[in-house]
């Protein structure tokens, strides 16, 4: 038995079934607040824009916060409105996530998805209240769960995936929106995260390596600063992602 989906007028009980997968190619996915950054060994870096998902959550959160602030004036009426908007928020997000995972599975039909084994509740410590509110809206666990019904999933240790130089293994430093290393390597943090998740999915330690030990598609000393090959957005009215220039 899978998850229970409750709508305003309907209740759906889903069922899951174990499926044998025969896919071989692995892709690394770096989960960020506003995007999923994918490293594909043949297609390069692809950014899946999740800003609309966060806009939906943020919009309903503002409505709900406003209702809570005046709940004492009309408790029963406001409670009914809160239930209504909580349900709408949940249903809009569920619709978006269901469409997202369908389009992800169609965009990468022959891939094993490698995700970080994230626990967002451990990330709340030491951050501002505003950042933690944004973090609370993240749906990484749900994305992985829903996607696992359609494609093979692997989870890897998330430690240092965005801060380890893939060329020499040193710790990267943030500078002007990029991450840089003393060895001269520099790149976008989200690309590095996706690439290192991919490498960890291959069973390779994030310790760097000599140039002749690198795979043909790994960043070497000659790598220029790169941008996503494409940016894709969830199209709620179509079967596939909407592609846009990076």
Q: What is the pLDDT of residue 224?
A: 38
Q: What is the pLDDT of residue 57?
A: 92
Give a three-class secondary structure readout of the chain: CCCEEECCCCEEECCCCCCCCCCCEEEEEEECCCEEEEEECCCEEEEEECHHHHHHHHHHHHHHHHHHHCHHHCHHHHHHHHHHHHHHHHHHHHHHHHHHHHHHHHHCCCEEEEEECCCHHHHCCCCCHHHHHHHHCCCHHHHHHHHHCCCCEEEECCCCCCCECCCCCCECEEECCEEECCCCCEEEHHHHHHHHHHHHHCCCCCCCCCHHHCCCCCCCCCCCCCCCCEEEECCCCCCCCEEECC
pLDDT in tens, 144-170: 999 999 999 999 988 888 888 887 888
Q: What is the pLDDT of residue 170?
A: 86
User: Which portions of the chain are predicted below pLDDT 50?
Assistant: 1, 19-22, 209-226
Q: What is the pLDDT of residue 70?
A: 92
Q: What is the pLDDT of residue 5?
A: 52
pLDDT in tens, 108-139: 988 999 999 987 766 767 777 787 778 788 88
């Amino acid at each position: 038995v899978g998850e229970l989906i409750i709508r305003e007028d309907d209740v759906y009980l889903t069922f899951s079934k174990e499926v044998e997968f025969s896919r071989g190619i692995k892709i690394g996915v770096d989960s960020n607040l506003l995007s999923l950054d994918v490293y594909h060994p043949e297609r390069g870096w692809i950014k899946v824009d999740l800003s609309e998902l966060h806009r939906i959550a943020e919009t309903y959160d503002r409505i709900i916060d406003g209702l809570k602030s005046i709940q004492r004036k009309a408790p029963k009426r406001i409670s009914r409105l809160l239930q209504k908007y909580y349900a709408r928020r949940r249903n809009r997000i569920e619709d978006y996530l269901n469409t997202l995972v369908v389009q992800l599975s169609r965009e990468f039909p022959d891939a094993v998805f490698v995700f970080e084994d994230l626990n967002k509740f451990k990330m709340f410590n030491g951050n501002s209240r505003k950042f933690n509110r944004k973090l609370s809206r993240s749906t990484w666990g749900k994305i992985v769960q829903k996607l696992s019904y359609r494609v093979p999933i692997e989870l890897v240790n998330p430690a240092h995936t965005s801060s380890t130089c893939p060329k020499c293994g040193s710790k990267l430093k943030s500078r002007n929106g990029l991450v840089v290393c003393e060895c001269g390597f520099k790149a976008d943090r989200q690309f590095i995260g996706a690439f290192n998740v991919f490498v960890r999915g291959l069973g390779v330690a994030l310790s760097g390596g000599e140039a002749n030990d690198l795979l043909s598609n790994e960043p070497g000393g000659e790598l220029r600063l790169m941008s996503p090959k494409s940016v894709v957005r969830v199209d709620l009215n179509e079967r596939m992602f909407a592609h846009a220039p990076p």
